[in-house]
Amino acid sequence: MLVMDRQEHIHIVSAGEHIHEAYTLAVRDLRDITHTFVFTDTELYTNSTRDDEQTKAYKTAVRDAVTSVKAHAASLKIPAHLVYIDPPALESVVQAVIRIVKEHPAAVYSFDLSAGSKDLSLALYAVSLWLEGDAYYAFSGRKGNAALSLLPVPKAAAMNIHTNQNYSRILALLYRTPGKQERSPRVLPRAYLRTQLESFYVPVRKKGVKSAGNPAGNADATIGKKSVIPWLSQGTFTNFLSALEAGDLIRQETGPDKSRREKFYRITPSGELALLLFETKP
């Protein structure tokens, strides 16, 4: 009998003084959680001589709540890890989540935004949209009881760059210098982008694609015949750029000479996040 491996379910929560209460609801309602990551602002685990008594009490309450979460997870044999987030929260959250995705590439994700700072929770919510993970919030009832509610998200509003390989190529050209892995965002002219994409252009349509020919007459190493290069028309390239702009993944910039004849483009923070997640997930 063939036994299928259980799909990993990564549950990410933002740390706060009532996080243990929200986590109790989460493991009750989401029974397939396999890993828990508690994201906390670093300052909550840093003592300062400037802290007043109220701040000290809050930090202690948060730490105790996180300890309760880890103990509860351990009782259910769910590995729980503490992740420290430095400001700016969005950048730190993105890098932390990408590390998790690399370690668990086939997992599904859920996020609990019931506790923690506004910056941390908003950053986790933004990442949840790109990972297509469910985001939850424990709303308190009139009698003090709470229910874990799924936050509704219009999934169609977030553009999926997996639908077209050319999108990720354009984003990569704007994000880093070809041949390098480190981040080095650039402002590039439209003509240069099209030239760079042309060699890697993958037609979305299967039929009716025009060929640019093979002027050099190079033979394909696999089939021994002259390879045929699909032709990237100006109209098709414009459609690619328009789609990326509409998804707020790239934006137009003024060129160095401020000429209106040539358009220049830059990748946006949303584009960087989409590209990194695209390159990480299988």
Please report, for the domain that includes residue 213, its CATH number. Answer: 1.10.10.10
Tell me, yes or no, whether 15 and 132 share the same domain: yes
pLDDT > 70: what percent of the chain?
A: 82
139 and 201 co-located in one domain: no
- Do 183 and 221 belong to one domain? yes
User: Looking at the domain assignment, is residue 3 inside a domain?
Assistant: no
Place of tokens 């694609």: 209
CB 137 within 8 A of CB 113: yes
Identify whether 176 is part of a domain.
yes
Separation CA 189–CA 262 (nearest Å) = 7
Residue 3: pLDDT band (50, 70, 90) is very low
Work out the average pLDDT over 93-113: 95
Q: Which of 157, 182, 213 corresponds to the end of one domain?
A: 157
Considering only 134-143, 175-184, 215-224, which range has the smallest mean pLDDT? Answer: 215-224
Taking the C-alpha atoms of residue 150 and residue 142, their distance in angstroms, rounded to an integer, is 19
| Residues 84 and 42 placed together within one structural domain of the fold | yes
Q: What is the dihedral of CA 261, 194, 95, 148, to 10 degrees?
A: 90
In sequence order, the 6+-apart residues with CB closer than 8 A to the CB of 210 are 230, 231, 233
Give the tens place of pLDDT for each residue, 23-76. 999 999 998 999 999 999 999 999 999 999 999 999 999 999 999 999 999 999
pTM for this prediction: 0.73
255 against 134, higher pLDDT: 134
Alpha-carbon gap, residue 98 to 75, rounded angstroms: 28
Domain of 87, CATH number, reads 3.40.50.10770
Q: Which residue has the higher pLDDT, 280 or 166?
A: 166
Residue-wise pLDDT tens digits, 141-157: 444 456 788 887 655 44
**Are 58 and 48 spatial neighbours (Cβ–Cβ below 8 Å)?**
no
Last residue of a domain, one of 125, 157, 189: 157
Going by pLDDT thresholds of 50, 70 and 90, the confidence category of residue 222 is very low
Question: How far apart, in whole angstroms, are the C-alpha atoms of residue 106 and residue 153?
Answer: 22
The pair phi, psi for residue 134, each rounded to 5°, is -80, 135
Rounded CA gap, 140 and 113, in Å?
A: 13
H or E segment to which residue 282 belongs: none
Helix (H) or strand (E) holding 149: strand 146-150
pLDDT for 281 beyond 80: no
Same domain as 77, residue 212: no
Q: Output the DSSP codes for 156-193.
A: GGS--GGG-HHHHHHHHHHHS-TT--S-----EEHHHH
Q: Distance between the two ends of the chain, CA-based, in angstroms? A: 28
Whole-number Å distance between alpha carbons of 265 and 240 = 13
From the CB of residue 197, how many other CB atoms can be counted at a distance below 10 Å? 17
Whether 204 and 112 share a structural domain = no
In a domain, 1, yes or no: no
Strand partners, 188: 265
pLDDT, tens digit, for every residue of 184-221?
888 999 999 999 999 889 887 665 455 555 555 454 44
Q: Say if residue 120 is in the same domain as residue 176.
A: no
Domain total of the chain: 2
Q: Report pLDDT for 278.
A: 86
Domain region containing 275: 161-280
Contact predicate 119/112, CB 8 Å: no
Does position 245 have pLDDT exceeding 60, yes or no?
yes
In one-letter notation, the amino acid at residue 103 is E
- Which tokens go with 104? 């668990």
Of 157, 192, 217, the position where a domain reaches its end is 157
Asked if 16 and 144 sit in the same domain, the reply is yes
